[in-house]
Amino acid sequence: MPRLTFSSSVPRAASAVDLPIASDDMETLNPDRARAAELSGFEGKLGQTLHLPGPADEPVTVLVGLGERADLTADVLRRAAAAYIRSISKHQAAACTLAEEPSPVDAGDAVEAVAIGLGLGSYSYTDQKSKPPAETLRRVTVVARGSGTKAAFTRGEAAVEAVSLARDLTNEPGGSLTPVAFAAKAKKACSAAGLKLAVWDEKRIAKEKFGGLLAVNQGSTHKPRFLVIDYTPSGRAKGSVALVGKGITFDSGGLSIKSGAGMMTMKIDMAGGAAVLGAMTLLPALGSKTAATAYIPLTDNMINGQAQRPGDVFAARNGKTVEVLNTDAEGRLVLADALSYASEKKHDAIIDIATLTGAVSAALGSAYAGLMGTSDELMSAIEASAEQTGEKLWRLPLPTEYRSQLDSPIADVKNIGAGPYGGALTAGLFLKEFVSEGQAWAHIDLGLSAMADTDDGVVAKGGTGFGVRVLADLVANWG
């Protein structure tokens, strides 16, 4: 990935410089450029770019479409920056003046957005290649002046690093990213960010009566882990927020086994845990005045002679007994313990994030994650953050009418609803059973938004890192 730097002027070494242009400003181009644009179908649409070579020794001018001027937002700048950096991969050094474009977006927010667009738009995962493809582009300089723009650039860089960490973890194969390996990576990231990390091993997990995490782990040769990460601001904390992330390092479905196709992508089933870890590492850079604690249950969902059977019953941390009728509904079992535990700690709010159901994507498609919860105020705050960061969330209900679907003939609850319909909602209702009464709680079901088939805007093919920025923004702007 190219290095991002910040400067108040275009560096000499840059062989490409952008010229941002809105679709309704096309007539401001000089006749030569206007003609080149017409010939190539460049209309200033968002995502379009056009390279216009200048005289020898002068940098290439890259027209970067912004779409309609009236629609210019931070999200537009992120997408335009991502399109720009994808178009200049043949250059060694380039400049990006996008943030200098006059727009209703605050100058600092614009610089932050551009840094994020450049950094995330050029993300690629090459750790498994024997010969990582050589990259030509080495340096892109974000050009901006004005007070606060340098600090905004630094915030953008930190966001790129945090999201890239979550993407790297999500993209890593399940065979190598075991719970122990995840914990080791978390240790490195937490010490770099100055966060406190506690790693519970299987003995501690048993002592703390995490029956759900142990039940899912029963069929595995890899030991489970439970991570507790603390961020404490300097000075008096403005409240405290809990972030809980599903960390299934591979989901085979267990004895209720998935199809080959259904299993193919299931290394991503720890994307919620990765998002929570990424968000925590971003809090110091955002200068959050609010404290946060992350809780990440880690195990894979595998099969051996000890694996849990459909029909088995376990008791979760809060004492509730669960009849497991489908071992593929495992995320909710590990979250049950984590949510019960987080509830004991009296946080102002608890937010969990998980690749919990395929059903949420049947409802919303792969670009949106579902948002459910017990507190309108909390969900509105999450939506406000998502509006800023461009991660798309859509509110879904937790209908009390469906609660009886979880009644078990032999235990307190069963782990699946009555059928395939409303599967994201019955999953949400199941989680609610493990959040204490009166606790403000919200649940983000990532479904397929955790991964992408193609590059699109700041999203690159593979793990998306969805949730990192929205959760960090929520905590940093709390209260």
Site string for Zn ion, 208-247 (x = CB under 5 A): ----------------------------------------
CA distance 266 to 252: 7
From 59-67, 114-122, 183-191, 350-358, give the range in contact with ligand BES by CB under 6 A.
350-358
Task: Please say whether the beta carbons of 447 and 361 come within 8 A.
Answer: yes
Give me the least distance between CB of 167 and ligand BES, in Å please.
16
Which phi and psi angles does 231 have, rounded to 5°? -115, 125
Q: Which of 20, 156, 233, 331 binds Zn ion (CB under 5 A)?
A: 331
Of the residues 36, 334, 448, 452, which one makes contact with ligand BES according to CB under 6 A? 448
Nearest to 251 by CA among 372, 336, 368, 354: 354
Which H/E stretch holds residue 169? helix 149-171
User: Which of the 8 DSSP states describes residue 375?
Assistant: -
> Binding pattern to ligand BES, positions 144-163, x when CB under 6 A?
--------------------
Beta bridge partners of 413: 322
Residue 337 within binding range of Zn ion, rule CB under 5 A: no
Tracing tokens 């240790």 back to the chain, one arrives at 187
Residues with Cβ within 8 Å of residue 204, at least 6 apart in sequence = 226
- Which one of Zn ion, Mg ion, ligand BES, none interacts with residue 326, CB within 5 to 8 A by kind? ligand BES
Residue of 357, 389, 405, 439 that binds ligand BES (CB under 6 A): 357
Q: How far is the CB of 323 from ligand BES (least distance, A)?
A: 13
Helix (H) or strand (E) holding 242: strand 240-245
- What is the nearest approach in angstroms of Mg ion to the Cβ of residue 251? 4
Give the binding site for Mg ion (CB under 5 A): 251, 328, 330
Kindly state the smallest distance separating residue 454's Cβ from ligand BES, in Å.
17
**Of 316, 336, 345, which is closest to residue 428 (Cα–Cα)?**
336
What's the rounded Cα separation, in Å, for the pair 392 and 126?
27
Window 233 to 252, contacts with ligand BES (CB under 6 A): 251
**Position of minimal CB gap to ligand BES:** 358
Taking each helix axis from N to C end, the angle separating 331-344 and 423-432, rounded to the nearest 10 degrees, works out to: 30
Annotated active-site residue 258? The verdict is: yes
Is 396 a binding residue for ligand BES by CB under 6 A? The answer is no
Q: Considering the complex, state which of residue 46 and residue 177 has its C-beta at the smaller distance from Mg ion.
A: 177
d(CA 187, CA 17): 40
Q: Does 353 bind ligand BES (CB under 6 A)?
A: no
Residues 25-84 that bind ligand BES (CB under 6 A): none
Out of 150, 187, 223, 258, the active site residue is: 258
User: Residue count at the site for Zn ion (CB under 5 A)?
Assistant: 4
Compute CA 453 distance to the chain's CA centroid, rounded to the nearest angstrom: 16
Identify whether 432 is a catalytic site residue. no
DSSP string over 30-70 = -HHHHHHHHHHT----TT-EEEE--STTSPEEEEEE---GG
Which of these ranges, 61-69, 163-171, 233-241, 328-336, lies near ligand BES under the rule CB under 6 A? 328-336
Pick 10 or 362: Cβ nearer Mg ion: 362
Contacts with ligand BES, 264-303, as mask; x by CB under 6 A = -----x----------------------------------
Pattern 252-281, Zn ion, x by CB under 5 A: -----------------x------------
Nearest to ligand BES of 340, 426 (CB atom):
426
Distance CA(188)–CA(1), nearest Å, equals 20
Tokens representing residue 129 in the block? 């290649």
Nearest approach, Cβ of residue 269 and ligand BES (Å): 5
Choice among 33, 289, 332, 469 that is catalytic: 332
Phi, psi of 382 (to 5 degrees): -65, -40
CA distances from residue 468 to 22, 294, 311, 461 in whole angstroms, order as listed = 30, 12, 36, 17
Helix, strand, coil content of the chain in percent (nearest 5):
40, 20, 40
**By CB under 6 A, residue 17 contacts ligand BES:** no
Tokens of 276: 């929570």
Site stretch for ligand BES (CB under 6 A), options 27-35, 39-47, 159-167, 321-329: 321-329
| Cβ nearer to Mg ion, comparing 108 with 272 | 272
> Is residue 75 a contact point for Zn ion (CB under 5 A)?
no
Q: What is the DSSP letter of 453?
A: S
Residue 328, interface with ligand BES (CB under 6 A)? yes
CA distances (Å), origin 467, targets 21, 122, 392: 30, 19, 9
Nearest-CB residue to Mg ion?
A: 328
Return residues touching Zn ion (CB under 5 A).
248, 251, 269, 331
Catalytic residues: 258, 332
**Interface contacts to ligand BES, rule CB under 6 A:** 251, 269, 326, 328-331, 355, 357-359, 416, 423, 447-448
